[in-house]
Chains A and B, each alone.
Chain A
Amino acid sequence: EAEVAQSPRYKITEKSQAVAFWCDPISGHATLYWYRQILGQGPELLVQFQDESVVDDSQLPKDRFSAERLKGVDSTLKIQPAELGDSAMYLCASSPGLGSNQPQHFGDGTRLSIL
């Protein structure tokens, strides 16, 4: 079982609906990442937090996606409205903090299917 907790593990919803994912990083980890992984591809960074601040959301489709980490601990990623192309695995990862030699620890992800 992954040290980074994510829920739900699976989500099936219809297009145009709202969907939310939750992530609880490893205790004490200042940096939190949300990735989208389409089947057969590598993870694509959506948003990166340092504590409660966003340091990179350049690939986040801001018209429909939002992310927050209000107290600098757990985080929520939301999609509204969901589209068919959003079907993917959404992965959360954390690392101790700034410092490029720190590997990321991943959760088991949320597999999203849009009908």
Chain B
Amino acid sequence: AQSVTQLGSHVSVSEGALVLLRCNYSSSVPPYLFWYVQYPNQGLQLLLKYTTGATLVKGINGFEAEFKKSETSFHLTKPSAHMSDAAEYFCAVINSGGYQKVTFGTGTKLQVIP
């Protein structure tokens, strides 16, 4: 069975500060990993994905994430937070076999303080 753990249901950063949102996963097969962002009363929007190849992936809005197999982690970072980054962020894992079964983390709400 696969699972996703997001440490910290709420994270607050100052505008211009580093954003670090943590995601750890467990999977019995090589995983594919995703980060999504959700604004209030909207659906989820893909930020970035890791499937194969380079372990550092860049996404939209200046976000990036690094897949670390030894740590079973896929943390999301952004060098400098902007007010518009305030939203909820979800990490998701998909098994690489069979049909596309997705498991989402419980989410981290990011607050950006001016």
A-to-B contact residues, CB < 8 Å: 2, 4, 6, 31, 33, 40-45, 48, 50, 55-56, 91, 93, 95, 98-109, 111
Docked Cα-Cα span, A3 to B46, in Å, equals: 13
A-contact 0/1 string along B89-102, CB 8 Å cutoff: 01000111101111
Q: Which of B12-20, B62-70, B74-82, B104-112 contacts A (4 or more CB under 8 A)?
A: B104-112
**Interface majority SS on A: helix, strand, loop or mixed?**
strand
Listed A/B pairs (25) with beta-carbon separation below 8 Å: A31-B100, A41-B106, A42-B106, A45-B101, A48-B99, A48-B100, A50-B99, A91-B43, A93-B44, A98-B99, A100-B96, A100-B97, A100-B100, A101-B32, A101-B49, A102-B100, A103-B46, A103-B49, A104-B44, A104-B46, A106-B36, A106-B45, A108-B43, A109-B42, A111-B41
> Which one, A42, A99, A103, A107, contacts B104 given CB within 8 A?
A42
In the complex, A2 Cα to B45 Cα: how many Å?
9
Q: Which residues of chain A have C-beta atoms less than 8 A from B94's C-beta?
A: 100
A108 and B99 CA atoms in complex are apart in Å by 24
Chain B residues touching A, range? 20 to 34
Q: List 14 extra interface pairs beyond A44-B104, A100-B32, CB under 8 A.
A: A33-B102, A40-B107, A41-B107, A42-B90, A42-B107, A43-B104, A48-B100, A56-B101, A100-B94, A100-B96, A101-B51, A102-B100, A106-B36, A109-B43
Across-interface contacts of A109 in B (CB, < 8 A): 41-43
Q: Which residues of A contact B4 (CB under 8 A)?
A: 42
